């Protein structure tokens, strides 16, 4: 498996869940991967598992200085960058009538502002053939009860790909959205419990939650030349949740 042979990738939110699963698949396909996240001990554990073709940088996508350190590390070790997987995201439930400004700021700082600057600060290192992947969500299409800020932020991410595909005309850089549905990450399992996972599984035509590795496999496709004529697109990996 060498679809990403010699390529350099950045994955935000790369120490756990979908990001970590994608990092493993990227490395299996020949990539050198920088994972970015907020918890040093979790980053260290991920790098220990991922092996010598992984590096970790601690920081938050909502902090521009942290992103500058990330891309300085990429430039110092690799010189250029081929793939950005803007995967870091945040969201919590708060029903209409109880929404606070702090809740909106927390969600949008990560899911909107964080995505914008993750991509914008990467561009000087990227060139023709580059691939930008944005993590959307089925909630950006369907909405989700009590998830006003999160759902709206993911709808914004979908529009980023359409807008940036226009902005990137002539550069040879592609930008697409990968939109998961319910995925059995460590966080989801902890938050939902066994019964909650069964409820989410029952909502999808495939009657189960996704394994993070299944989302990572599609990220590899979008990162590789297999998707070379795709830009501004959304790929739903949601078990049919938002499609019916």
Residues taking part in catalysis: 150, 154
Residue whose C-alpha is closest to residue 26's, from 133, 124, 122 = 133
- Which tokens belong to 159? 């529009």
The C-alpha atoms of residue 158 and residue 141 are separated, in whole angstroms, by: 9
- Residue 234 burial (CB < 10 Å; 0-12/13-18/19+)? middle
**Is 98 strand, coil or helix?**
coil
Sheet containing strand 32-37, edge to edge, reads 54-58, 32-37, 8-12, 83-86, 131-135, 174-180, 234-237
């Amino acid at each position: 498996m060498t679809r990403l042979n010699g390529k350099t990738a950045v994955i935000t939110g790369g120490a756990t869940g979908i990001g970590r699963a994608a990092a493993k698949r990227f490395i299996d396909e020949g990539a050198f991967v920088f994972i970015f996240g907020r918890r040093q001990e979790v980053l260290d554990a991920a790098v220990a598992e991922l092996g010598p073709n992984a590096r970790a940088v601690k920081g938050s996508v909502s902090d521009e200085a942290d992103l500058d350190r990330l891309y300085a590390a990429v430039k110092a070790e690799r010189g250029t960058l081929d793939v950005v997987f803007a995967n870091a995201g945040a969201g919590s439930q708060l029903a209409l009538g109880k929404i606070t400004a702090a809740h909106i700021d927390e969600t949008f700082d990560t899911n909107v502002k964080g995505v914008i600057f993750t991509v914008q600060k990467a561009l000087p290192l990227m060139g023709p053939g580059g691939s930008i992947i944005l993590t959307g969500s089925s909630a950006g299409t369907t909405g989700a009860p009590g998830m006003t800020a999160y759902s709206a932020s993911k709808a914004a991410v979908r529009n980023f790909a359409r807008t940036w595909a226009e902005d990137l005309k002539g550069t040879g850089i592609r930008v697409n959205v990968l939109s998961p549905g319910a995925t059995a990450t460590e966080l989801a399992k902890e938050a939902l419990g066994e019964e909650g996972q069964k409820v989410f599984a029952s909502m999808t035509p495939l009657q189960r939650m996704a394994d993070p590795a299944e989302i990572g496999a599609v990220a590899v496709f979008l990162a590789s030349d297999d998707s070379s004529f795709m830009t501004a697109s959304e790929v739903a990996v949601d078990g049919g949740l938002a499609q019916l």
